Amino acid sequence: VFSRLPIAIGVDIGAIETVLALSDLRGELQSVKRIRNTKNPEQTLASVAEEISSLVHSSTAYRELGGIGVSLIGLIDVEQGTIVEGENLGWPQPIEVGKLLRSKIKDVPLYFENGARLGAMGEIWFGGPHFSGIRDLVFVDINEGVGTGIMLNGQIYRGSQNGAGEFGHVCIDPNGPTCTCGSAGCLEVFASDLATVRRYIQRTRVSDDSAIDVKLIVELANKGDATAIEVLKETARYLGLGLAPIIYSLNPEVIVIGGKLASAWPLIEHEIRDSCAKRVSQPFLQSTKILPSTLRARASLMGAVALVLAKNFAVPEIF
Ligand SMILES: [Zn+2]
């Protein structure tokens, strides 16, 4: 019998907004709150801390709270909760998120992790039934950038300095445009939401492009808009190229495609596979399933909840 008591708080600090919620043991969310990020990180994080405190104290059984899991984008110092490098946030770096939140929230432990890694963890813990029991999974988080999170043998893989999984910065065209990382032709430059939106605006030459985002392009494509379909298929083909190094280096059981793009799955699935097949030999291609996220926009948030549960309830592995 599972308890319905809230036992964890998940916080997802994204590039544009922050989402917070209480969760029970089964990942049922309560009191979901959204805060629009501002240009000022201290101000934004102070509002986040206030919302966390109000969730902590609204919880009737707050002594039962196992902790607060916080999803951050970019290169993260997970112990300190510091964003060492995170170009897509538009905030001066490093950003000491942990220091700021811990100065205001003293009675509940805070845990930090990169959002793409938490997306991977979220899918395994709370995603579709076909993800349960998967040990080796890579989550490709497509948003303002392209992040990837790696779970190997059921554990988050961070690398030596928390930097593992930067497949968004693998070069797929040496003559391609400059990337935020300083290199050129990275997967991110071609397959991020920003790239998709940019291509759509170029093709349609709309006069007011302020309302155009990938959500809208997916909606238009699903209604049959030819330009929207073409632009999404193009993003999918670039993405397929970018999956080849993931398959060859890690040979995961599953690659999960997350982000708004995943809502166009019937339109893009074939394009992703087809373009990936041009770079990967058959036995490798057949050994890795490429599937859409089941948690969609909530993958990192659910991963933040899973992070708290793992700290409190998972049996430590004995080597
Ligand atoms: Zn790059």
Distance 185 CA to ligand 1 centre (A): 7
Distance 144 CA to ligand 1 centre (A): 13
Whole-angstrom Cα Rg for the chain: 19
- Residue pair 290/255 in contact (Cβ under 8 Å)? The answer is yes
Q: 162 in the Ramachandran plot: left (φ > 0), alpha (ψ -120 to 50) or beta?
A: left
pLDDT of residue 201: 96
State the average pLDDT for the chain: 93
Please provide the distance, in angstroms rounded to a whole number, between the alpha carbons at the two ends of the chain.
Answer: 31
State mean pLDDT over 133-149: 95
Q: What is the pLDDT of residues 27-55, one digit of tens each?
A: 999 999 999 999 999 999 999 999 999 99
Distance 37 CA to ligand 1 centre (A): 24
Distance 181 CA to ligand 1 centre (A): 4
Can you tell me whether residue 13 is helix, strand or coil?
Answer: strand
Distance 186 CA to ligand 1 centre (A): 5
Indicate the pLDDT class of residue 316, thresholds 50, 70 and 90: low
pTM of the model: 0.93
Distance 126 CA to ligand 1 centre (A): 31
Distance 171 CA to ligand 1 centre (A): 7
Indicate the pLDDT class of residue 89, thresholds 50, 70 and 90: confident
DSSP result, 123-179: HHHHS-GGGTT--SEEEEEESSSEEEEEEETTEE---TTS----GGGSBS-TTS-B-
- Residue pair 247/255 in contact (Cβ under 8 Å)? The answer is yes
- Residue pair 6/22 in contact (Cβ under 8 Å)? The answer is yes
Distance 195 CA to ligand 1 centre (A): 13
Distance 200 CA to ligand 1 centre (A): 21
Q: What is the pLDDT of residues 250-274, one digit of tens each?
A: 999 999 999 999 999 999 999 999 9
Q: What is the pLDDT of residues 169-193, one digit of tens each?
A: 999 999 999 998 899 999 999 999 9
Residue 260 and residue 13: Cα distance in Å, rounded?
17
Distance 177 CA to ligand 1 centre (A): 10
Which two tokens mark 53?
């405190």
pLDDT of residue 206: 84
Question: Which element (helix H / strand E) includes 31?
Answer: strand 29-36
| Residue 115: Cβ within 10 Å count | 29
Distance 239 CA to ligand 1 centre (A): 14
Distance 294 CA to ligand 1 centre (A): 27
Placement of tokens 């049922």 in the chain: 28
Distance 169 CA to ligand 1 centre (A): 4
Indicate the pLDDT class of residue 57, thresholds 50, 70 and 90: confident
Distance 194 CA to ligand 1 centre (A): 14
> Which region among 3-17, 23-37, 161-175 has the lowest average model confidence (pLDDT)?
3-17
Residue 242 and residue 280: Cα distance in Å, rounded?
11
pLDDT of residue 1: 44
Distance 189 CA to ligand 1 centre (A): 7
Distance 49 CA to ligand 1 centre (A): 32
Distance 167 CA to ligand 1 centre (A): 9
Cross-strand partners of 266: none
Distance 161 CA to ligand 1 centre (A): 18
**What's the burial of 174, exposed, middle or buried (CB within 10 Å: 0-12/13-18/19+)?**
exposed
State mean pLDDT over 60-83: 89
Distance 11 CA to ligand 1 centre (A): 27
User: What percent of the chain is predicted at pLDDT more than 70?
Assistant: 96
Q: What is the pLDDT of residues 276-305, one digit of tens each?
A: 999 999 999 999 999 999 999 999 999 999
Whether the per-residue pLDDT at 319 is higher than 50: the answer is: no
Residue 147 and residue 115: Cα distance in Å, rounded?
8
Residue 293 and residue 118: Cα distance in Å, rounded?
13
Cross-strand partners of 151: 137, 156
Q: Between these two residues, 312 and 101, which has the higher pLDDT value? A: 101
